[in-house]
Amino acid sequence: MEAVSKRRVVITGIGVVSPVGIGVSEFWTGVSRGISVAARAPILEAADCPWKVAAEVHDFQAEKWLGRKEARRMDRLAQFGLVSSYLAIEDAKLDFTKENLERIGVAMGTAQAGMLFGAQEYDVYKAKGVNAVSPYLGIAVFTGATGGLVAMHFGLKAPCLTISTGCDCSTAAIAHAADLIERGQADVMLAGGSDAPIHPIVVVSFGIIYALTSRNDEPKRASRPFDAKRDGFVIGEGGCMLVLEELEHAKRRGAPIYAEMTGWGATCDAHHMCHPDPTGEQGARALQMALAKAGVRPSQVDYLNAHGTSTPLGDKAETVVVKKVFGDHAYNVPVSSIKSTVGHMQGACGSAEIAACCLSIEHNLLPPTINYEYPDPDCDLDYVPNVARRHNVEIAASNSFSFGGRNTAIVLQRYHNGVVGHSSSQRINGNGNGNGNGNGNGNGGHA
């Protein structure tokens, strides 16, 4: 009996709606130059919320893609998910009129669902009664709404799934999408995540468990992963969707390829709902599984994009994970966190970080961890402090962790046997922008 060859998975499109910019070019410029747009959020100021700092998406006009009537029927997170899907499809040069839509699916991650729409309609209900509530409320707050809307907008009829495991959810969605392609259940998947959690009740829920920064007076310096004076994450928002494609399908249509997705793995700490297991055993096992599936030795990894939330316990635990997996090589592999620039995009953070890995491979440039000023003896690796670094990246890995102890890791490799890259690699000189000197005092976990 003839053996069936393994189907390979490549990434051919990136769509991003992020605090540092909309579209892949603006996103990469922001994270590679170490630009932070974190600020005191008006909605948090108005509510007199104790935690006032957020990384918001500015100049976002969902109506441009969706139309005013359609945009008003959905939560902001669904708008982010749909628009980032449009951008990813455009970036991948996918023409759906030439595709079998029964072979294209959606894998969406979200941590918060439609919180903003729900809060808005609750205020309407209190002020005007049940008859004034939007008939779209039930759909807007439905966890699976965004994935369903993406499938409906583009007529995609392969599996459509939503994963809501917390802050690893978009990484997990991408891993599940790759599984579907590898097993032959789809040829193309739109995969990633979105969230719009900047609302006082969500912010308070994180703040009271010491997961958020209280550095209200210096917002741009507030997110400082692995720095000794970190005190919690900056809450962010946005969407990031990727086009995953079976290699031969991508080659037949001449698709440009960012990277090949060769390994993925997932585990659970089964330890605590908010705090990571300080031993790092299961976080390490997820990354080891991804490396084993990819057939990659730890010493071959050129770059690790960290979950790196800027929480005291989370960053310490992730450093333990890296040392467990890489051994002596841990001090040679560069590790950085783009959450220092874009904040914690919740359900979109993992997919945005995988996008950053793809772009690091394309440009041979490592995005910096900004605001790194005070070394922590418990976090003593090479965190690419403050300034982007030229570095050849053939193999990159990305960690994602979540409340409930969920761990997901992905390994990407440069694709050498076809068209590589979406644009010419241009030199981007990073310029870190933080020298904060506040005193961290939280003990938040790795949200």
For domain 9-413, say whether CATH 3.40.47.10 is its number.
yes
Secondary structure E strands in 3-97: 9-18, 21-22, 39-40, 53-55
- Residues 69, 30: contact at Cβ < 8 Å? no
* 382, 384, 389, 391 alpha-carbon torsion, rounded to 10°: 40
The model's pLDDT over 71-105, given as tens digits with 9 standing for 90+, comes to 888 889 999 999 999 999 999 999 999 999 999 99
| pLDDT given for residue 5 in this prediction | 65
Residue with tokens 């839509």: 101
- Catalytic-residue membership of 357: no
| pLDDT at 263 (0 to 100) | 97
Q: What is the mean pLDDT of the chain?
A: 90
| Type of residue found at 353 | E
Q: pLDDT tens, 198-252? A: 999 999 999 999 999 999 999 999 999 999 999 999 999 999 999 999 999 999 9
Segment 249-271 mean pLDDT? 96
Q: Distance between CA atoms of 19 and 49, rounded to whole angstroms?
A: 21
- Over 50: is that where the pLDDT of 307 sits? yes
Beta strand extents in 148-209 (DSSP E only) = 160-163, 188-195
CA distance 212 to 202: 11
What mean pLDDT do residues 181-197 have?
97
Helix (H) / strand (E) containing 70: helix 68-71
Lowest mean per-residue pLDDT among 97-106, 263-272, 342-351, 438-447: 438-447
Phi, psi of 176 (to 5 degrees): -65, -40
379 in active site: no
Out of 199, 344, 363, 446, pick the active-site residue: 344
Q: Is 438 helix (H, G, I), strand (E, B) or coil?
A: coil
Among residues 295, 294, 287, 291, the alpha carbon closest in space to that of 267 is found at: 287
Reported as a pLDDT band with limits 50, 70 and 90, residue 113 is: confident
Task: Indicate if 329 belongs to the active site.
Answer: no
Q: Which of 176, 199, 249, 307 is catalytic?
A: 307
Catalytic-labelled residue, pool 49, 167, 169, 358:
167
